[in-house]
Amino acid sequence: MALKAVKDVKDNAIIGLGSGSTVSVFVKALAKHVNDNKLDIRVIPTSLQIKLEAETLGFKIADETLIPLTDIVFDGADQIDAKFNMIKGGGGALLREKVLIHASKETVILADESKYVDVLNRAVPIEVLPYARTYVSNRLKKMGAEPNVRSLDKGYPFITENGNLILDTNFGKINDVAKKEVELKSIAGIMEVGLFSKHANRYYKAKKDGTIEVLTP
């Protein structure tokens, strides 16, 4: 899937990179594609994880002032519904990923077939200002949701690279994703929500039989 998707990269492009294991594999494929074709590109990572990998592979790292000039973003997804809405943020980089996706000219999502569902139904990552944790949790509970503070293996709270907490929040089935996204963003103290109603340009779907399907909304 990664080897197929790198063909979308053109010379002199500014590439946005999401986070997580799928993007980690993609970055390695991208490095080979760039070297084989002698391309001159710059990348904007959304997490320290991917930034370190990109640096190790010799990529030129662009700073945030070039975000408005991003040509294409490559990212994974935790869940994708039949209308191409997504839940993202399993790695905790949802705020930066959403900024890049909204700024970029194009977005490409890479995911295996298990991530594709009819209706979104997994817990939604919500990035919250620590100061507002209790208030936001109470508001979410009044909506009938079940928020849980994300923690590390030893019980310490997970802190995003922006210094915020993540509330992994179960809403059950989410039929109107855009409405829910706006509703949550209106709560003071929520910095970003892992519902992505802005569709990508292409979705690469890796199937168990080894084939790759390319979907366009």
Residue ranges in 38-186 assigned as alpha helix (H):
48-56, 94-103, 133-142, 177-185
Per-residue pLDDT, 131: 98
Per annotation, catalytic residue among 53, 64, 97, 181: 97
Residue with tokens 């998707």: 5
Domains of the chain, first to last: 2-118+197-215 (3.40.50.1360), 124-195 (3.30.70.260)
Per-residue pLDDT, 139: 98
- The Cα-based distances of 19 to 7, 25, 67, 126, 186 in angstroms read 20, 10, 16, 16, 26
pLDDT of the chain along its 217 residues, tens only?
999 999 999 999 999 999 999 999 999 999 999 999 999 999 999 999 999 999 999 999 999 999 999 999 999 999 999 999 999 999 999 999 999 999 999 999 999 999 999 999 999 999 999 999 999 999 999 999 999 999 998 889 999 999 999 999 999 999 999 999 999 999 999 999 999 999 999 999 999 999 999 999 9
Structure tokens at 113: 């077939």
Per-residue pLDDT, 71: 97
* 0.75 exceeded by pTM: yes
Q: Is 97 a catalytic site residue?
A: yes
- Helix, strand, coil percentages, rounded to 5, for the chain: 35, 30, 40
